[in-house]
């Protein structure tokens, strides 16, 4: 049995297998090579219904749990991380979704000219908001609010605290 598991692992690594996640009518997979999508372009398409720190923490924790580390991340609350996710509909249509935390919080972007992309973005957003998030903690600088934000997830629950810094005032 152990030999079979090891063989499967070797095959997966050799063929650069990436886990896929199912959402409402779509399969989602993290894109590891953004160079292939340099000229796609992206605009805000969809975001969570709630705009608050705990929602941003849930969104990021679910991304970590489902897709691993982002393509990049920073300590700037208005530019915290970025993922590229390939969404494949049941009928084979493909959409490249840009998932990020920007000035308005957690969001899903993509090419607004693509017919049906809103549905793919909404499905991914729903998946992220209903998935159990990974445990993590991040400390962010929120320049517009002159504050520091510490947010994350612990035992499947998002949390956040914002502290106004004396040095900002």
Taking only the tens place, the pLDDT of each residue in 77-136 is: 999 999 999 999 999 999 999 999 998 899 999 999 999 999 999 999 999 999 999 999
100: domain range?
Answer: 19-33+40-132
Q: Residue holding tokens 């106004």? A: 164
What pLDDT, on the 0 to 100 scale, is given for residue 9?
A: 34
As given in the structure block, the two tokens for residue 169 are: 């005032």
Residue 80 lies in a domain: yes
Helix, strand counts (H, E) of the chain: 3, 10
**Confidence (pLDDT) at 13:** 33
The candidate with the shortest Cα–Cα distance to 124, out of 52, 16, 30, is 30
Residue 54, domain member (yes or no): yes
For residues 14 and 4, what is the distance between their CA atoms, to the nearest angstrom?
Answer: 15
Is it the case that residue 8 has pLDDT exceeding 60?
no
Cβ atoms of 161 and 147 closer than 8 Å: no
What span, in angstroms and rounded, lies between the C-alpha atoms of 89 and 119? 10
Number of domains in the chain: 1
Residue 128 belongs to some domain of the structure: yes
Q: What is the pLDDT of residue 41?
A: 63
Lowest mean pLDDT: which of 1-10, 82-91, 157-166? 1-10
Beta bridge partners of 87: 28, 95
């Amino acid at each position: 049995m152990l030999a079979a598991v090891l063989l499967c692992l070797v095959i997966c690594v050799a063929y650069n297998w990436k886990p896929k996640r199912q959402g409402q009518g779509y399969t989602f997979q993290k894109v590891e090579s953004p160079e292939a999508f340099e000229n796609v372009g992206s605009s805000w398409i969809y975001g969570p219904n709630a705009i608050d720190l705990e929602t941003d923490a849930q969104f990021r924790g679910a991304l970590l749990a489902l897709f691993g580390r982002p393509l990049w991340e920073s300590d700037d609350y208005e530019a915290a991380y970025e993922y590229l996710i390939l969404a494949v509909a049941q009928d084979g249509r493909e959409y490249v979704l840009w998932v990020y935390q920007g000035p308005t919080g957690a969001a899903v972007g993509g090419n607004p000219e693509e017919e049906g992309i809103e549905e793919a973005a909404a499905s991914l957003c729903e998946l992220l908001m209903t998935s159990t998030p990974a445990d993590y903690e991040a400390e962010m600088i929120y320049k517009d609010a002159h504050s520091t934000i510490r947010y994350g997830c612990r035992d499947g629950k998002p949390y956040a605290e914002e502290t106004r810094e004396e040095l900002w005032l």
